[in-house]
Amino acid sequence: MRINCPICGDRDWREFYYLGAADYLNRPAEGDLDAIHKYLHIRENPAGVTKDLWHHEAGCSSWLVVERNVTTHEILGVELAAEVKR
């Protein structure tokens, strides 16, 4: 698997660390327990396109949002997490 890092270009998967669903970017407001429960524990698990957070650990150190199809392993898009949040 290769991920096209927006900063470094096309790189081997060995340089990356997987964190989890990109939902982690949308932290709910403090005190909203129901939303925090969903944020921490409830995930969609589609057999298809997912958005995940990857860290370019051995490269430029950027957090990336990688959109990929888990059934075909095709990578559809890569963005810097810092730019997705804005």
Interface with another protein, residue 19, by CB under 8 A: no
Interface with another protein, residue 58, by CB under 8 A: yes
Residue 16 burial (CB < 10 Å; 0-12/13-18/19+)? Answer: buried
- Residue 29 CB, nearest distance to another protein (Å)? 25
Residues 22 and 39: their CA atoms lie apart, in Å, by 11
Nearer to another protein, 13 or 32 (CB): 13
- Residue 11 CB, nearest distance to another protein (Å)? 7
CB 26 within 8 A of CB 14: no
- Residue 62 CB, nearest distance to another protein (Å)? 5
Nearer to another protein, 14 or 41 (CB): 14
Among 17, 13, 26, 29, residue whose Cα is nearest residue 63? 17
